[in-house]
């Protein structure tokens, strides 16, 4: 079931997203060679707490049998790790790229966003990958209008990313968002035009292109969370929470 948000609910989601933006700003300031991914997690949770919000991701049960619940505020995925990476004592090195995914819970509503950051000086291919993930998001939301369909967004993302010579994760996708972190509809990054649920005013979506330099074949690491590429090539990620309204598409976390 797709939950259509009222004006009042949209306001509450905007407040949640405003805190998320503060967290992103603080993370961005601190990205540099020599820091650990655990430090980024510490900063993120600190900003959330100081603003009366909670990390959406903390306590999320592991989707795999025997895995522990996620116990951090953010996911940090370095280089060939694409999503769901666990913050740790891993030190970020010059030339690494790190994808940070975070969710903020405030007022009974979630907001969700992600960025891939360059650590120090990175390769040209890393730069191109990061830029392509971001641009693919904006290509997608060109189609996030009432009357269009989810597949129009998916198709725009897919077409753009493939035109740059990169591949997309098929097994993971964007999603509706609101009182729950994951709501209907799913928003795949691959799809055909004019397919899927019809978009309407009041829909809140987290759109998140996850792209790979090489093949989009992935596996889940021993920690039961981190998703990484089999070919060990780089990956990038970009996500925002958006609201579709009659007149405009609001990007809440940008």
Q: Measured from the CB atom, is 122 or 141 closer to Mg ion?
A: 141
Among 13, 48, 206, 210, binds Mg ion (CB under 5 A): 206
Could you count the other beta carbons within 10 Å of the beta carbon of residue 230?
Answer: 13
Among 41, 45, 80, 112, binds Mg ion (CB under 5 A): 112
Q: Measured from the CB atom, is 23 or 206 closer to Mg ion?
A: 206
> Least separation, in Å, of the C-beta of 123 and Mg ion?
27
Q: Measured from the CB atom, is 45 or 112 closer to Mg ion?
A: 112
Q: Considering the rule CB under 5 A, would residue 74 count as an interface residue with Mg ion?
A: no
Q: Measured from the CB atom, is 112 or 139 closer to Mg ion?
A: 112
- Stretches 51-59, 136-144, 163-171, 206-214: which one binds Mg ion (CB under 5 A)? 206-214
Cβ atoms of residues 166 and 211 within 8 Å? yes
Q: Considering the rule CB under 5 A, would residue 183 count as an interface residue with Mg ion?
A: no
Q: Is 138 exposed, middle or buried (0-12, 13-18, 19+ CB in 10 A)?
A: middle
Residue 52 three-state SS: coil
d(C-alpha 27, C-alpha 130), whole Å: 16
Cβ atoms of residues 238 and 83 within 8 Å? no
> Least separation, in Å, of the C-beta of 241 and Mg ion?
8
Mark 65-82 as b/e (b = at least 16 C-beta within 10 Å).
eeeeebebbbbbbbbbbb
- Stretches 11-19, 107-115, 119-127, 149-157: which one binds Mg ion (CB under 5 A)? 107-115
Count interface residues toward Mg ion (CB under 5 A): 2
d(C-alpha 209, C-alpha 157), whole Å: 7
> Least separation, in Å, of the C-beta of 182 and Mg ion?
8
Enumerate binding residues for Mg ion (CB under 5 A).
Answer: 112, 206
């Amino acid at each position: 079931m797709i939950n259509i948000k009222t004006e009042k609910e949209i306001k509450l989601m905007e407040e949640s997203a405003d805190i998320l933006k503060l967290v992103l700003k603080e993370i961005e300031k601190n990205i540099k060679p020599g820091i650990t991914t655990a430090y980024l997690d510490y900063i993120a949770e600190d900003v959330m707490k100081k603003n009366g919000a909670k990390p959406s991701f903390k306590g999320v049960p592991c989707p795999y049998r025997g895995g522990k619940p996620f116990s951090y505020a953010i996911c940090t995925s370095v280089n060939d790790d694409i999503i769901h990476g666990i913050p740790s004592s891993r030190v970020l090195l010059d030339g690494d790229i790190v994808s940070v995914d975070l969710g903020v819970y405030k007022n009974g509503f979630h907001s969700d966003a992600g960025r891939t950051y360059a650590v120090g000086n990175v390769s040209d291919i890393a730069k191109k990958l990061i830029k392509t993930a971001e641009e693919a998001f904006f290509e997608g939301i060109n189609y996030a209008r009432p009357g269009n369909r989810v597949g129009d967004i998916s198709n725009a993302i897919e077409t753009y990313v493939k035109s740059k010579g990169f591949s997309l994760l098929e097994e993971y996708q964007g999603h509706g968002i609101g009182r729950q972190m994951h709501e209907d509809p799913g928003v795949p990054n691959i799809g055909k035009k004019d397919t899927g649920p019809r978009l309407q005013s009041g829909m809140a979506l987290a759109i998140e292109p996850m792209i790979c330099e090489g093949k989009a074949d992935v596996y889940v690491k021993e920690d039961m969370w981190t998703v990484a590429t089999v070919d060990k090539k780089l990956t990038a990620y970009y996500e925002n929470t958006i609201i579709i309204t009659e007149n405009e598409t609001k990007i809440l976390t940008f």
